């Protein structure tokens, strides 16, 4: 049990650290210009000149994957920030005020939950048009209900605890009690969820980009790199491997870190 | 039991109404005049006005919604802008393929998850447990469309065992059709078994610590009987909920997997219609998937008391 917690924490932190390091490095150095076209060397196999090969326009795959890490990371960070902030506000309101506020919020929440997240994001992208902002908005809307559910559930149990009662008896205002006593105690499960959300957002963004409704080319993301690699699967299989490996490594790191956080914050829940 | 069923059915109603409202207004928010999409950009004003009248777009929004809802209630989802086919028929044809793939894959994944999860829980903290947990963590990190590409690369291109891409309907060539869905089913099974195994394992661990399991063991029951008769039914209930959620969402279309394998399923229909701005189809697909999701979860909720009779009481 302890051993697994440590393994998850160390390996997860190492992989996430690697991702962050690659993003940071990308700001100061990439082997080539990620969007510079070099028609003399299209579909070059991985080698000394191009470590991960080149794509159909002769663009360096490693440089593109590095820039893709930054774009995916930024979008995922935006989605987590937006959905967690909004989800906290709505979930706190539902759980703390109860009665009709809770009922209205939960019915709306269930209605949004009835759409598969990725399809809802797809439909929203169609309405909003392709851009980074709409991608963040679409994914945040899709993930918001799960944050609301988690926050509400933990507020419902915190509301009954003695220190909340004590704050009420001491004559504190409801808003003060909510922000000073309920909010900090509702945070741990949200931190765990936020970690998973970061992973889901990376996955969903790459899926949308893969389907052609996410980040528009020429800006590279791991998803649209995989999608443009499809016609060249026979001649250049490295194009289908590198971006997928990037997504898988990032997700593995984020998930393991999330598992470690969950075990640490709530040792009773065994997953 | 009957009042439980009635209560669940009633609870689903407001959600359904909200879903219909959301679908209707979401599509109205989309940029571009549907009449111009149908007639082409340079159409003359009179033709556009005629088209508006025909589509009911000259009516106020609440009236439009009521008309639409009335049609939907009778199973009429309108016609596709690009092909002119009735949307409902289009969706049902595509749904058959998606449902086949999804139901087979989720059934297989559930079976794998129950076996692997119970085994891991039974041998908790051994090498076997670590291997099962490790494998499911790894599987969770692999995006389904990448796994699909890799399987296609391996079985379609390198080994040449299975057809590369394409699809023929079952009615025309059953064997060929079956070969085309092998890889999509495999992709989906692998992906889903990861989440479900973790769920099954953690609930089995929880159940195994309960006193009645100790009692069953003390009674001298064999380990197999303890697992099968006492651990499984109680540990399976939470996994079943997850299976329902998964099934509900996947039946709405496995867009990325269908894209990789060029399968004409529901997810692909939705993506294609979004790219073609064929709004009646997008609207129909969204509504259909939400209704399927609500229905599947309703069925799962109704199955819950079979595994856990305490549910009806509360």
The owner of tokens 């470590």 is A51
> Is A127 within the bounds of a domain?
yes
pLDDT value at residue B184: 92
- What is the tally of structural domains in chain A? 1
Predicted pLDDT of residue A2: 65
Placement of tokens 């989440």 in the chain = B195
For the domain that residue A166 is a member of, what is the CATH number?
1.10.3720.10
Asked whether A120 and A142 are in contact (CB, 8 A), the reply is yes
The H or E element that residue A93 is part of is helix A61-97
* Three-state secondary structure string covering B121-184: HHCCCCHHHHHHHHHHHHHHCCCHHHHHHHHHHHHHHHCCCCCCCCCCCCCCCHHHHHHHHHHH
Interface test with B, best of A5, A123, A242 (most B CBs within 10 A): A123
CB contact under 8 A, B274 and A122: yes
A236 phi-psi bin (left φ>0, alpha ψ -120 to 50, beta other): beta
What pLDDT tens digit does each residue of chain A (271 aa) get?
566 678 888 999 999 999 999 999 989 888 888 888 888 878 788 887 788 888 888 888 899 999 999 999 999 999 999 999 999 999 999 888 878 889 899 888 888 888 888 888 888 888 888 889 999 999 999 999 999 988 988 888 888 888 888 888 888 888 888 888 888 888 888 988 999 899 999 999 999 999 888 888 788 999 989 988 888 888 888 888 989 999 999 999 999 998 888 888 865 554 4
Contact B240, B303 (CB under 8 A): yes
Domains of chain B, earliest start first: 96-277 (1.10.3720.10)
Looking at the DSSP bridge assignments, the partners of residue A60 are A54
Domain ranges, residue A254:
2-27+59-270
With CA atoms as reference, report the closest residue to B253 among B284, B211, B209: B284
- Three-state DSSP at A270 gives coil
Q: Is there a domain that residue A82 lies in?
A: yes
For testing contact with chain A, the best of B141, B190, B199, B298 (most A CBs within 10 A): B141
Q: Which residues in chain B are contacts of A269 at CB distance < 8 A? A: 202
DSSP A31: S
In chain B, residues with a C-beta closer than 8 Å to the C-beta of A125 are 274
CB-nearest partner of A233 from B145, B153, B250: B153
Does residue A44 form part of some domain?
no
Task: Please check whether residue A74 lies inside any domain of the structure.
Answer: yes
Better-predicted residue by pLDDT, A19 or B173: A19
Task: Compare CB distances from B19 to A111, A116, A119 and report the shortest one's residue.
Answer: A111
Q: How far is CA B158 from the centre of its chain?
A: 31
DSSP structure string for B206-246: HHHTSHHHHHHHHTT--HHHIIIIIIHHHHHHHHHHHHHHH
* A54 part of a folded domain: no
- Contact between chains at B143 and A234 (C-beta distance less than 8 A): no
Q: How far is B112 from chain A (nearest CA, A)?
A: 17
pLDDT confidence of B219, banded at 50, 70, 90? confident
Are B125 and A210 a contacting pair at CB < 8 A? no
Cβ within 8 Å, pair A114-B15: yes
The pLDDT score that the predictor gives to residue A39 is 82
Which tokens hold the place of B212? 């009645």
Tokens of B274: 């979004």
| B19·A115 Cβ contact <8 A | yes
Three-state DSSP at A60 gives: strand
Q: Tell me if A199 sits within 8 A of A46, measured CB to CB.
A: no
Query: Alpha-carbon dihedral of residues B252, A248, A244, A79, nearest 10 degrees?
Result: 60
Q: Can the peptide bond before residue A218 be classed as cis, meaning omega within 30 degrees of 0?
A: yes
**Of A109 and B302, more confident:** A109
Q: Does B152 touch chain A (CB under 8 A)?
A: yes
A114 touches chain B (CB under 8 A): yes
Contact A126 B277 (CB under 8 A): yes
User: Which of A122, A229, A244 has its CB closest to that of B143?
Assistant: A244
Helix H or strand E encompassing A205: helix A183-211
Cβ contacts of residue B294 below 8 Å, gap of 6+? A114, B12, B15, B16, B19, B248
A187 touching chain B per CB within 8 A: no
Contact A240 B31 (CB under 8 A): no
Q: Is A4 on the interface with B (CB under 8 A)?
A: yes
The confidence score (pLDDT) of residue B88 equals 93
Please report whether residue A42 resides in a domain: no
Residue A40 lies in a domain: no
DSSP state of A230: G
Nearest 5°: phi and psi at B287? -60, -45
Q: Half-sphere exposure of A14 toward its Cβ, with a 13 Å CA cutoff?
A: 6
* pTM across the whole model: 0.87
Task: Name the percent of chain B lying above pLDDT 90.
Answer: 25
CA nearest A167: which of A99, A94, A96?
A: A96
pLDDT, position A271: 41
Choose among A156, A159, A154, A101: nearest CA to A168. Answer: A159
What are the backbone angles phi and psi of residue B86, rounded to the nearest 5°? -65, 135
Q: Considering the domain boundaries, does residue A48 fall inside one?
A: no
**What's residue B312's pLDDT?**
59
Q: Does A141 touch chain B (CB under 8 A)?
A: no
Q: Which residue has the higher pLDDT, A205 or B156?
A: A205
């Amino acid at each position: 049990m302890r051993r697994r917690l440590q393994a998850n924490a160390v390996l997860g932190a190492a992989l996430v650290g690697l991702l962050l390091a690659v993003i940071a490095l990308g700001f100061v150095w990439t082997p080539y210009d990620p969007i510079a076209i070099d028609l003399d060397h299209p579909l070059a196999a991985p080698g000394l000149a191009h470590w991960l090969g080149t794509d159909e326009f002769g663009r360096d795959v490693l440089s593109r994957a590095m820039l893709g890490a930054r774009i995916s990371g930024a979008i995922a960070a935006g989605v987590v920030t937006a959905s967690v902030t909004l989800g906290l506000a709505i979930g706190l309101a539902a759980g703390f005020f109860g009665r009709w506020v809770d009922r209205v919020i939960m019915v709306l929440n269930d209605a949004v939950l009835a759409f598969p997240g990725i399809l809802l994001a797809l439909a929203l992208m169609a309405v909003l048009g392709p851009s980074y902002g709409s991608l963040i908005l679409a994914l945040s809307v899709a993930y918001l209900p799960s944050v609301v559910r988690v926050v509400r559930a933990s507020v419902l149990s915190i509301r009954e605890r003695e220190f909340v009662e004590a704050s009420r008896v001491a004559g504190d205002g409801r808003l003060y009690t909510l922000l000073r006593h309920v909010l900090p105690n509702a945070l741990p499960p949200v931190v765990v969820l936020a970690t998973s959300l970061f992973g889901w957002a990376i996955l969903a963004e790459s899926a949308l980009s893969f389907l052609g409704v996410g980040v528009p080319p020429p800006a590279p993301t791991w998803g649209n790199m995989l999608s443009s690699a499809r016609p060249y699967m026979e001649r250049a299989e490295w194009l289908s491997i590198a971006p997928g490996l990037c997504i898988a490594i990032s997700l593995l790191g984020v998930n393991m870190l999330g598992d470690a956080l969950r075990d640490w914050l709530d040792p009773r829940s065994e997953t | 039991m009957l009042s439980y069923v009635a209560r669940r059915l009633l609870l689903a109603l407001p959600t359904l109404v909200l879903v219909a409202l959301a679908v209707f207004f979401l599509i109205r928010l989309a940029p571009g005049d549907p009449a111009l999409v149908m007639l082409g950009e340079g159409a003359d004003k009179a033709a556009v006005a005629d088209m508006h009248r025909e589509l009911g777009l000259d009516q106020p929004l609440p009236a439009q919604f009521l008309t639409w809802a009335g049609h939907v209630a009778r199973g009429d989802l309108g016609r596709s802008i690009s092909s002119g086919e009735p949307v409902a028929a289009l969706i049902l044809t595509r749904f058959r393929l998606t449902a086949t793939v999804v139901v087979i894959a989720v059934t297989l994944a559930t079976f794998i998850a129950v076996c692997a999860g119970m085994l891991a829980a039974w041998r908790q903290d051994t090498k076997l447990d670590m291997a099962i947990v490790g494998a499911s963590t790894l599987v969770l990190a692999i995006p389904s469309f990448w796994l699909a590409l890799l399987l296609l690369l391996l079985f379609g291109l390198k080994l040449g065992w299975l057809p590369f891409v394409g699809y023929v309907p079952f009615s025309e060539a059953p064997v060929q059709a079956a070969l085309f869905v092998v890889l999509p089913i495999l992709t989906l099974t692998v992906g889903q078994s990861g989440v479900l195994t973790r769920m099954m394992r953690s609930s089995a661990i929880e159940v195994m610590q309960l006193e009645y399991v100790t009692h069953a063991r003390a009674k001298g029951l064999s380990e197999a009987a303890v697992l099968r008769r006492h651990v499984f039914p109680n540990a399976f209930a939470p996994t079943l909920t997850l299976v329902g959620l998964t099934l509900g969402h996947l039946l709405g279309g496995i867009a990325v997997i269908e894209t990789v394998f060029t399968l004409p399923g529901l997810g692909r229909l939705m993506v294609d219609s979004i790219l073609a701005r064929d709004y009646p189809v997008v609207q129909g697909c969204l509504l259909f998937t939400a209704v399927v999701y609500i229905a599947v979860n309703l069925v799962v909720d109704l199955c819950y008391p079979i595994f856990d009779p305490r549910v009806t009481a509360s």
